[in-house]
């Protein structure tokens, strides 16, 4: 059993399972999260299987039974992930399962297996969330105390328990720092550094999500594209620094008007897009007009009136993200060609 735990730890060290984002898919249609857990189950089962035979040849029936239960459990877990694609539940079950077997083996095999508690507990922080891993590891340590206290002198047993607790503390801190670093990297990859709005990449991801929501729940979703009028004049006349300040102020105005379920994205330059959930074309048009008037009345530059043109389109059944954005752009171009500082909607429902 300890050898098996060591193998699991070495696999998990490459990438924490619980940190993967489910929407990232491979060519086989499986998420990275699913692929990692399925590979872990397969390799783990193949690695454990030979030890069942070795233990049976030595007449160690009890430990052979534990090894066999691990293989069967992992096979059931892999089948569950393959059929349901619910990795979150499977990760928790896997952690509880192998920690329980680790404790059981220590109780049966004695202190010669106690040192595998360290990698076993560390592995938990790579599979489930830090607080969950800490809670499960505390329970595992409590279950190990009777064996430790009986087999070792008081000072030695206290020292071993303290080292287990310290290793858990370090692993917990490492997991939290990993979360922070990942969030920072995600922000850099998905956020516009100037305005804090999502970038074009995050917009594409969000549109894929809302399209799936539209198919399942028939929820109304609309997109509003916002483009500053004659913004080149602002940059050329007042400088790019002033232009950046205007963009940040406009992002603040829009962000203050959207709900937590909506999203603001900068497409590049002076163009923004807003994804409105539970909003039909009428709601989107009303929202766009509110934004237009707020920006017009904000007097962002006393020397130069800042205005915006807007285009709105509602997501249609079986429509693609590209088609939706194209229709919103068509409405935006119409607003610009008709004199700017206005909102146009795209009522074309053909996809």
Are residues 20 and 154 part of one domain? Answer: yes
Question: What does the alpha-carbon distance between residue 97 and residue 136 come to, in Å, rounded to a whole number?
Answer: 11
Q: Give the residue numbers marked as catalytic.
A: 270
pTM over 0.75: no
Are residues 129 and 59 part of one domain? Answer: yes
- Whether residue 17 is contained in a domain is answered as yes
- Whether residue 264 is contained in a domain is answered as yes
Strand partners, 281: none
Query: How many Cα neighbours within 13 Å face the side chain of 249?
Result: 18
Structure-token match 């043109």, residue found: 309
Are residues 114 and 9 part of one domain? Answer: yes
> For the segment 128-163, what is each residue's pLDDT rounded down to a tens digit?
889 999 999 999 999 999 999 999 999 999 999 999
Please give the average per-residue pLDDT across 183-207, as a whole number. Answer: 88
Are residues 159 and 128 part of one domain? Answer: yes
Strand partners, 265: 198, 273
Are residues 149 and 271 part of one domain? Answer: no
> For the segment 94-130, what is each residue's pLDDT rounded down to a tens digit?
889 889 988 998 898 889 888 889 988 988 888 788 9
Q: Which among 167, 190, 213 is the end of a domain?
A: 190
**Cα angle at 248 between 256 and 294, to 5 degrees?**
45
Are residues 99 and 21 part of one domain? Answer: yes
Are residues 213 and 186 part of one domain? Answer: no
Whether 313 and 255 have beta carbons less than 8 Å apart is answered as no
Are residues 298 and 233 part of one domain? Answer: yes
- Per the structure, how many domains does the chain have? 2
């Amino acid at each position: 059993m300890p050898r098996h735990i060591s193998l699991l730890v070495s696999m998990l060290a490459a990438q924490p399972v619980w940190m993967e984002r489910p929407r990232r898919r491979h060519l086989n249609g499986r998420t990275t999260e699913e692929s990692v857990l399925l590979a872990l189950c397969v390799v783990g089962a193949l690695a454990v299987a030979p030890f069942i035979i070795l233990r049976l040849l030595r007449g160690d029936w009890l430990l052979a039974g534990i090894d066999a239960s691990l293989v069967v459990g992992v096979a059931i877990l892999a089948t569950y992930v393959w059929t349901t694609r619910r990795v979150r539940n499977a990760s928790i079950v896997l952690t509880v399962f192998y920690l329980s077997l680790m404790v059981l083996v220590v109780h049966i095999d004695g202190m010669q297996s106690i040192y595998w508690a360290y990698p076993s507990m560390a592995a938990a922080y790579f599979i489930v969330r830090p607080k969950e891993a800490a809670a499960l590891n505390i329970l595992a340590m409590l279950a190990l105390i009777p064996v430790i206290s009986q087999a070792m002198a008081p000072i030695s047993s206290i020292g071993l328990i303290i080292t287990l607790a310290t290793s858990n503390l370090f692993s917990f801190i490492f997991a939290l720092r990993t979360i922070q670093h990942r969030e920072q990297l995600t922000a850099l990859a998905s956020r516009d550094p100037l305005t804090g709005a999502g970038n074009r990449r995050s917009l594409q991801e969000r549109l894929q999500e809302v399209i799936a929501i539209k198919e399942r729940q028939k929820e109304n979703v609309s997109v509003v594209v916002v483009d500053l009028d004659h913004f080149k004049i602002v940059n050329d006349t007042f400088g790019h620094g002033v232009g950046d300040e205007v963009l940040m102020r406009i992002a603040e105005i829009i962000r203050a008007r959207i709900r937590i379920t909506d999203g603001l994205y900068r497409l590049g330059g002076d163009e923004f897009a807003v994804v409105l959930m539970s909003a039909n074309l009428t709601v989107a048009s009303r929202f766009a007009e509110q934004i237009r008037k707020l920006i017009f009345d904000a007097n962002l530059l006393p020397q130069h009136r800042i205005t915006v043109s807007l285009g709105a389109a509602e997501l249609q059944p079986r429509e693609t993200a590209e088609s939706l954005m194209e229709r919103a752009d068509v409405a935006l171009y119409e607003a610009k060609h008709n004199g700017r500082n206005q909102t146009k909607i795209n009522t074309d429902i053909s996809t």
